[in-house]
Amino acid sequence: MADIKFEITKSLGVLSEGSKGWQKEINLVNWNERKPKVDIRDWAPEHEKMGKGITLNKEELKKLKEFLEGMDLDALEIE
């Protein structure tokens, strides 16, 4: 498998932390020396390992923001 190059260019926040120290983070990440995208995924404590996640470009992020602003989060049956 090819090496994936990444650089966290800006940390936007930590959404949660698991019992083993991994954190679900939202960051700006430069993947393979391309323009940074918003990235949400689990990271090991020193960012030496990562879990599966999602990357969003600006248009996708705008659309997600619209969806979230229009949702009644209390009406969703989630924890």
Distance CA 57, CA 44 (A): 24
Domain that residue 51 falls in: 6-71
Residues 73/44, Cβ–Cβ less than 8 Å: no
CATH of the domain at 44: 2.30.31.70
The confidence score (pLDDT) of residue 30 equals 96
Read off the pTM: 0.87
The confidence score (pLDDT) of residue 2 equals 72
Q: pLDDT confidence of 3, banded at 50, 70, 90?
A: confident
Tell me if 1 is assigned to some domain.
no
Mean pLDDT of 26-39: 96
Structure tokens at 18: 């698991």
The confidence score (pLDDT) of residue 4 equals 86
Q: pLDDT confidence of 79, banded at 50, 70, 90?
A: confident
Tell me if 58 is assigned to some domain.
yes
* Alpha carbon distances (Å) from 40 to 1, 52, 55, 75, 78: 22, 9, 6, 24, 19
According to DSSP, the β-strands at 37-43 and 50-56 are antiparallel
